[in-house]
Amino acid sequence: MVLAAALLIPARPAQGPQQQPQTPPAPGAPAKPPVTSDQAPAPATPQAAPTPPKPAPGVVVLDPAHGGADAGARGPNAVLESEMVLSLAHAVRAELERQGLRVVQTRQGNENPSFDERSAAANAHRGAIFISLHISSNGPVGTARAYTLAAPATPPARPALPPWDQAQDSFAASSRRLAELVQVQLAQKFRGSPEVPSVAAVRQLRTVAAPAIAIELSSVAVRDRSQLEQMASPLAEAVARAVAAFRQVYEAGAN
Amino acid sequence: MSRRVKLAIAALVVAVLIGAFYFPKLRQRVLRMSRPARTEEQTRREVTQPPIATPSDVKAKAKIFWASATAPGTLEPVVLELPLSADPVQRSKQLIITLIADVPSPGQRTLPADVILIEFYTLADGTAVADFSDALATATPSGILSEQMALDSIARTLAANVDSVRRLKVLIHGQEVETLAGHLDLTGFFPLRPETSAPAAPGKAPRGGLTPPAAPGKLDR
pLDDT tens, position by position, B178-204 = 999 999 999 999 999 765 433 333 333
CA–CA separation, A219 vs A227, rounded Å? 9
Higher pLDDT, B175 or B54: B175
Contact A138 B218 (CB under 8 A): no
Q: At what angle do helices B88-101 and B144-161 cross, to 10 degrees?
A: 140
CA–CA separation, B202 vs B221, rounded Å? 9
Q: Which residues of A touch B (CB under 8 A)?
A: 1, 65-66, 70, 72-74, 81, 115, 134-140, 143, 145, 147, 149-150, 153-154, 165-166, 198-204, 206, 214, 216, 218-219
CA–CA separation, A253 vs B126, rounded Å? 40
Nearest CA in chain A to B70: A140
Contact A136 B184 (CB under 8 A): no
CA–CA separation, B191 vs A172, rounded Å? 18
B171 confidence band (pLDDT: 50, 70, 90): very high
pLDDT value at residue B221: 59
* Residue-wise pLDDT tens digits, A106-153: 999 999 999 999 999 999 988 899 999 999 998 899 999 999 999 887
pLDDT value at residue B25: 86
Three-state SS for chain A is CHHHHHCECCCCCCCCCCCCCCCCCCCCCCCCCCCCCCCCCCCCCCCCCCCCCCCCCCEEEEEECCECCECCCECCCCCEHHHHHHHHHHHHHHHHHHCCCEEEECCCCCCCCCHHHHHHHHHCCCCEEEEEEEECCCCCCCCEEEEECCCCCCCCCCCCCCEHHHHHHHHHHHHHHHHHHHHHHHHHHCCCCCCCCEECCEHHHHCCCCCEEEEEECCCCCCCCHHHHCCHHHHHHHHHHHHHHHHHHHHCCCC
Please check the confidence at residue B101 and state whether its pLDDT lies above 80: yes
pLDDT value at residue A124: 92
CA distance B144 to chain A (A): 7
CA–CA separation, A14 vs B179, rounded Å? 34
pLDDT value at residue A16: 34
Comparing C-alpha atoms, which of A255, A250, A198 is closest to residue A60? Answer: A250
Contact A200 B217 (CB under 8 A): yes
Query: Contact at 8 Å (CB) between B163 and B87?
Result: no
pLDDT value at residue B35: 59
CA distance B190 to chain A (A): 9
A22 confidence band (pLDDT: 50, 70, 90): very low
Contact list in A for residue B190 (CB cut-off 8 A) is: 201
CA distance A43 to chain B (A): 29
Please check the confidence at residue A191 and state whether its pLDDT lies above 90: yes
Q: Are strands B167-172 and A144-148 parallel, antiparallel or unpaired?
A: unpaired
**pTM metric for this prediction:** 0.76
pLDDT value at residue B199: 34
Contact B143 A216 (CB under 8 A): yes
Closest Cβ–Cβ partner in B145, B179, B216 for A203:
B179
CA–CA separation, A92 vs A213, rounded Å? 14
pLDDT value at residue B202: 35
Contact list in A for residue B221 (CB cut-off 8 A) is: 165-166
**Phi, psi torsion values for A49, nearest 5 degrees:** -60, -55
Contact list in A for residue B141 (CB cut-off 8 A) is: 73, 136-138
Higher pLDDT, A69 or B207: A69
Contact B73 A218 (CB under 8 A): yes
pLDDT value at residue A225: 87
Contact B72 A138 (CB under 8 A): yes
Nearest CA in chain A to B143: A136
Q: How far is CA A101 from CA A58, A60, A92, A94, in A?
A: 6, 7, 11, 10
Contact A138 B141 (CB under 8 A): yes
Closest Cβ–Cβ partner in B73, B187, B218 for A139:
B73
Contact list in A for residue B216 (CB cut-off 8 A) is: 198-200
Omega prior to B213 cis, within 30 of 0: yes
First-last CA distance in chain A: 28
Q: Which residues of B touch A (CB under 8 A)?
A: 72-73, 141-146, 148, 178-179, 182-185, 187-188, 190, 195, 198-199, 215-221
Contact A202 B185 (CB under 8 A): yes
CA distance B122 to chain A (A): 22
CA–CA separation, B143 vs A119, rounded Å? 19
Please check the confidence at residue A13 and state whether its pLDDT lies above 70: no
Contact B143 A134 (CB under 8 A): yes
Q: Where are the domains of chain A?
A: 54-152+162-251
Higher pLDDT, A34 or A254: A254
CATH number, span A54-152+162-251: 3.40.630.40
Closest Cβ–Cβ partner in A137, A154, A201 for B219:
A201
Interface predicted TM-score of the whole assembly (ipTM), two decimals: 0.78
pLDDT value at residue A123: 93
B216 confidence band (pLDDT: 50, 70, 90): very low
pLDDT value at residue A43: 37
Comparing C-alpha atoms, which of B119, B111, B95, B125 is closest to residue B175? Answer: B119
Contact list in B for residue A221 (CB cut-off 8 A) is: none
Please check the confidence at residue B33 and state whether its pLDDT lies above 80: no
